[in-house]
Amino acid sequence: MFLFLPFLLLLLCLVTSDTVTNEEVQKTCPVMACIPPGMNGFPGKDGRDGAKGEKGEPGQGLRGLQGPPGKLGPAGPPGPPGSKGAVGKKGDPGTCPECDTSRAIFERAALKAELESLKKMLLFSVTKKVGKKFFWNSGETRNFDSAKALCAQFQASMATPLNTEENQAIRSLAKDSAFLGITDKENEGQFVDMAGRRVTYRNWNKGEHNNADSGEHCVQMLLDGTWNDVTCSSSFLAVCKFPA
Ligand SMILES: [Ca+2]
Ligand SMILES: [Ca+2]
């Protein structure tokens, strides 16, 4: 475009040179005043791309559609037990021809009476009752430790007379010499019962207790009911005491 304008002015001067000389032209008319303004040229080529701009703010897109439901998760722990329900109504009595309760009750009562009768017979025949105690004679001889174990086997203890009445009951029950539940094993001359309590009732035979040969730590009831200290390895009847 810029080249086109001088070319146009040169062409105009050449056209007018046929009638006017160059000097005349210079005297009468300045070049620019005589030349009419040229026309706008064609648009130029596009320029180069500019520098890359800064990153814009993130846009806000539209909310997507709700996806399908996920897979079923694992079972949770069992919950706490529920509260106790209300008590239901009492049911109707059932029928059971084989279950004649009245007959069973009658038979049980008869057996119980028979058992009580046998128990009394047995107690009167082999035991002596004094107050709230029963004394029982095993009928066979054994040493002290064996007699003690026999009584313990029946949840009983070896008989220890606490007064004249109990001493006489044991004497009448045992037809021979019997061990009493008395010993001075722990402290010589200090006689105690099977619970370790010092005995207060005593019925020693004359000259006893003598701890003969320094080895008599158990007590024998003689046939007359008096006591004698003897060796624990001796063998006499065992008499046990039961609560009535
Ligand atoms: Ca002794
Ligand atoms: Ca003695």
Mean local confidence (pLDDT), 51-68: 77
Rounded percentage of the chain residues whose pLDDT exceeds 90: 43
Residue 7 tokens, joined: 């070319």
Per-residue pLDDT at 170: 94
Is 227 strand, coil or helix?
strand
Ligand (nearest to CA of 230):
2
Cβ atoms of 190 and 198 closer than 8 Å: yes
- 2 confidence band (pLDDT: 50, 70, 90): very low
Give me the residues near ligand 2 (ion), CB cutoff below 5 Å: 208, 210, 212, 216, 228-229
pTM: 0.52
Per-residue pLDDT at 20: 44
- 122 confidence band (pLDDT: 50, 70, 90): low
- Total residue count of the chain as it appears in this document: 244
Is 225 strand, coil or helix?
coil
Residue 202 CA to ligand 2 centre (angstroms): 14
Tokens 């009983």 locate to 156
Mean local confidence (pLDDT), 46-68: 77
Residue 236 has pLDDT above 90, yes or no: yes
- 19 confidence band (pLDDT: 50, 70, 90): very low
Q: In terms of pLDDT, which residue wins out, 199 or 15? A: 199
Residue 167 CA to ligand 1 centre (angstroms): 21
Is beta strand 236-243 parallel, antiparallel or unpaired with respect to 178-183?
Answer: parallel
One-letter amino acid identity for 145?
Answer: D
- 127 confidence band (pLDDT: 50, 70, 90): confident
Q: Residue 147, Cα to own-chain centre: how many angstroms?
A: 45
Cβ atoms of 221 and 177 closer than 8 Å: yes
Residue 213 CA to ligand 2 centre (angstroms): 9
In terms of Cα–Cα distance, which of 221, 166, 154, 158 is closest to 195?
158
Per-residue pLDDT at 1: 47
Residue 209 CA to ligand 1 centre (angstroms): 8
Residue 133 has pLDDT above 50, yes or no: yes
Mean local confidence (pLDDT), 107-113: 92
Per-residue pLDDT at 34: 46
Residue 23 has pLDDT above 80, yes or no: no
Per-residue pLDDT at 230: 98
Per-residue pLDDT at 65: 83
Residue 182 CA to ligand 1 centre (angstroms): 11
Q: In terms of pLDDT, which residue wins out, 190 or 130? A: 190
Tens-place pLDDT, residues 78-95: 888 888 888 888 888 776
Residue 13 has pLDDT above 70, yes or no: no
Tens-place pLDDT, residues 138-195: 889 999 999 999 999 989 999 999 999 999 999 999 889 999 999 999 999 999 999 9
Ligand (nearest to CA of 218):
1
Residue 211 CA to ligand 2 centre (angstroms): 5
From CA 229, how far away is CA 216, in angstroms rounded? 5
Residue 108: CB atoms within 10 Å: 10
Q: In terms of pLDDT, which residue wins out, 31 or 130? A: 130
